[in-house]
């Protein structure tokens, strides 16, 4: 599943918050942010965030997209 711009931005916000909490170093933050912005697939974002708290957003990335939910419910 391809990642959206909004999902990339949300991942970067999560990474920045983790750095502010002391969970990531500035160097690690820089590497993960660069990877997040270049991510094509949602799975790439999951990997970047998988060792950090806030699993509710990650579970959403692993599931269906909003578009897929709409399509399935319209059938």
Pick the residue with more confidence: 16 or 54? 16
CB atoms within 10 A of CB 1: 14
Q: What is the pTM of this model?
A: 0.74
Residue ranges of domains in the chain: 5-69
**Mind listing the pLDDT tens digit for each residue in 24-59?**
999 999 999 999 999 999 999 999 999 998 755 565
Q: Would you state the pLDDT for residue 53?
A: 84
Asked if the model's pLDDT at residue 66 lies above 60, the reply is no
Question: Considering the chain, what is the average pLDDT of its residues?
Answer: 83
The string over 35-69, giving b where at least 16 C-beta atoms fall within 10 Å of a residue's C-beta and e elsewhere, is ebeebeebebbbebbeebeeeeebeebeeeeeeee
Least Cα distance to 57 among 7, 1, 3 occurs for 7
- Residue 50 DSSP code: T
The answer to whether residues 58 and 46 touch, using CB atoms and an 8 Å cutoff, is: yes
């Amino acid at each position: 599943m391809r990642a959206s711009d909004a999902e990339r931005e949300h991942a970067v916000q999560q990474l920045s918050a983790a750095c502010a909490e002391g969970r990531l170093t500035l160097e690690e933050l820089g590497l993960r942010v660069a990877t997040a912005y270049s991510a094509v697939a949602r799975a790439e974002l999951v990997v970047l965030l998988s060792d950090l708290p806030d699993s509710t957003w990650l579970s959403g990335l692993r599931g269906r997209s909003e578009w897929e939910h709409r399509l399935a419910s319209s059938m």
